[in-house]
Amino acid sequence: TATGNRVAHRPTSLAARAATVLRDNDTGSLVTASPRLYPHMWSWDAAFIAMGLAHIDVHRAVRELRTLLAAQWHDGMIPHIVFTGDDDYFPGPDRWGTDDAPQRPRDVRTSGICQPPVHAIALRRIIDTARRTSKADAAIAEDFARDAWPSLRRWHRWIARHRMSGARGLVTIVHGWESGMDNSPRWDAPYLAVRPGADLPPYVRLDVLKVDDPGQRPSDDEYDRYLWLVEQLRRAGHQPDRVVETSAFLVGDVFVTAVFALASETLADLGAELGAPAAEIAELRKWAGQARDATARSCHPETGKARDFDVHAGTWLDTDSLAAFSPLLCGGLPAAAEERLVATLDGPAWSGHPDLIAAVPPSVSPHSEDFDPRQYWRGPQWPVLIWLFGWAFGLRGWERHASEFRAQGVHLASDGSFGEYYEPFTGEPLGSPNQSWTAAVVLDWLC
Ligand code: 9YW
């Protein structure tokens, strides 16, 4: 079947193609984020990828998370990139200067920042998938979960210890890359205040050589700022408290905060199932509650939308991005405020926009002046975000919404190219084709 010039695959063929993407991107111990553009393991990608792998082979799913956890720093941080031997990506480990960080495990090279903590959510999903498959698979997943639980708890403790003060209770990030939404308009104002020093070491970008249209990637000006922050992190020796003290970019990220709330609660529930220590479970629920409250408190008194907080400027950041709906991920709003936020999400500025190819929210509202339908985190639709919101809706008991997101997400990705992101009006796949996490969430939707 075809809509416009888009070919739509049937579910069985789409699922088979998704499985092939994961297989083709598999190096054995890890599935790279994409074949050419991102030849390494990314932290939050790995979580979604493992969840997709669970539908093919639960052993392989477990191995993916073991690879990631083997790169966990001794202080608990899970780094945002685990580098493979491939040096065809910039910035690589030399530029990060992480080799000298005492917390880094000796035998893996990593970046020095983190990404949204979705890992407990993936683990929950892997267990649920394995339980549906067979008793043997369930046992494999549960055994792994018992091993992984303490590591994930230490990861959450790291966030609570080092990133939960100074931004109105929101989880702070020290680089836009930590948000996972690199060049979102959410970060325009804080990035404007980042002034790259004259001593920024020179560099050559590789990303723009690997996409058809470099206009879909961040600009050189943005990249200078990204690299300047990497330089500051390096000069702070990647010491977590020193990093927070010295970074020119310090922002409370409401989306990361909501994900942290949801994942902490999920991890606590898992701990209760697995017989983890009661005090540790209670601590996770405390962090979840704090993060949920901070998310709710960030909402604009008039629009009801959640906001980020720029610590250096001391101001709330109003941008019409999908992060405005973060409270729907973790709950915590009064019923009327929540209903209003859901209505906004369903309305014409978001999922209900009449020209969208699939009725799911783009990364930025088409009504916003920041909107650009082809530019990375500034407008395209991202299947992975649709999965996350849809999963949270299911958990919250909003079955109709959850299945609508699933069906529309499948429709968006039905061309079978597994784009990194999609032009929201035409459905044209953009960025990297055969992006692993896109394949993984499609597989999860279909199985
Ligand atoms: C980059 C791998 C990563 C994602 C991020 C996304 C992008 C890397 O790709 O960042 O070089 O731009 O923004 O969320 O984890 O898929």
- Express each pLDDT in 17-51 by its tens digit: 999 999 999 999 999 999 999 999 999 999 999 99
Digit-coded pLDDT (tens) for 244-253: 999 999 999 9
pLDDT tens-digit readout, 204-219: 999 998 888 888 888 9
The band of 71, judged by pLDDT with boundaries at 50, 70 and 90, is: very high
d(CA 362, CA 376): 11
Q: What's the rounded mean pLDDT across residues 326-344?
A: 98
Per-residue pLDDT, averaged over 311-332, amounts to 98
Taking 80 as the threshold, does the pLDDT of residue 5 lie above it? Answer: no
* Each residue's pLDDT tens digit, 79-109: 999 999 888 899 999 999 999 999 999 999 9
- Compute the distance from residue 418 Cα to the ligand 1 centre, in Å: 15
Tokens at 247, concatenated:
């970074």
**CA 376 to ligand 1: nearest atom:** 13
pLDDT tens digits, one per residue of 432-446? 999 999 999 999 999
Number of domains in the chain: 1
Kindly write down the DSSP assignment for every residue of 393-432, as one continuous string. HHHTT-HHHHHHHHHHHHHHTTTSS--SEE-TTT--EES-
How large is the average pLDDT for residues 319-324?
A: 98
Q: Quote the tokens at residue 20.
A: 């092939």
Burial 82-107 (b: 16+ CB within 10 A, else e): bbbeeeebebbbeebbbeebebbeee
Q: Does the active-site annotation cover 420?
A: yes
- The residue range of the domain holding 150 is 2-446
pLDDT of residue 377: 97
Contacts of 5 (CB under 8 A, 6+ apart): none
Residue 1 has pLDDT above 70, yes or no: no
| Ligand 1 atom with the shortest distance to the CA of 436 | 16
Eight-state DSSP code of residue 193: T
Q: Is 226 in the pocket of ligand 1 (CB under 6 A)?
A: no
CB distance 443 to 383 below 8 Å: no
CATH number, domain at 280? 1.50.10.10
Amino acid 282: pLDDT = 98
The Cα–Cα gap between 242 and 233 comes to 9
Measured from the CA of 435, which atom of ligand 1 is nearest? 16
Instruction: Reply yes or no on whether the pLDDT at 362 is more than 80.
Output: yes
Say if residue 301's pLDDT is above 70: yes
What confidence score (pLDDT) does residue 249 get? Answer: 98
Q: Which of 137, 420, 423, 428 is catalytic?
A: 420
Q: Please report the pLDDT score of residue 6 as a whole number.
A: 84
Query: Ligand 1: which of 83, 182, 222, 384 to mutate, most ligand atoms within 8 Å of CB?
Result: 182
Indicate the top mutation candidate among 40, 45, 86, 387 to test ligand 1's pocket, ranked by most ligand atoms within 8 A of CB: 45
> For ligand 1, what atom is nearest to the CA of residue 37?
11
Nearest alpha carbon, ligand 1 atom 14:
180
> Does ligand 1 lie within 6 Å of residue 48's CB atom?
no
What rounded mean pLDDT belongs to the chain? 96
CB atoms within 10 A of CB 306: 28
Q: Does residue 369 carry a pLDDT above 70?
A: yes
pLDDT of 216? 82
pLDDT digits (tens, 9 = 90+) for 216-268: 888 999 999 999 999 999 999 999 999 999 999 999 999 999 999 999 999 99
Mean pLDDT, residues 269-284 taken together: 98
| Residue 372 among the catalytic residues | no
Question: Using the 8-state DSSP alphabet, how is residue 4 labeled?
Answer: T
Mean pLDDT for 154-182 is 97
Of the residues 182, 188, 346, 372, only one is catalytic, namely 182
pLDDT, tens digit, 9 for 90 and up, residues 106-120: 999 999 999 999 999
For 7, phi and psi rounded to 5 degrees?
-90, 135
Ligand 1 touching residue 421 (CB < 6 A) = no
Q: Which of 265, 263, 260, 235 is CA-nearest to residue 247?
A: 235
| Confidence (pLDDT) at 4 | 59
Q: Which two tokens stand for residue 314?
A: 């001391």
Q: How confident is the model at residue 3 (pLDDT cuts 50, 70, 90)?
A: low
DSSP letter at 41 equals E
Asked whether residue 2 carries a pLDDT value surpassing 90, the answer given is no
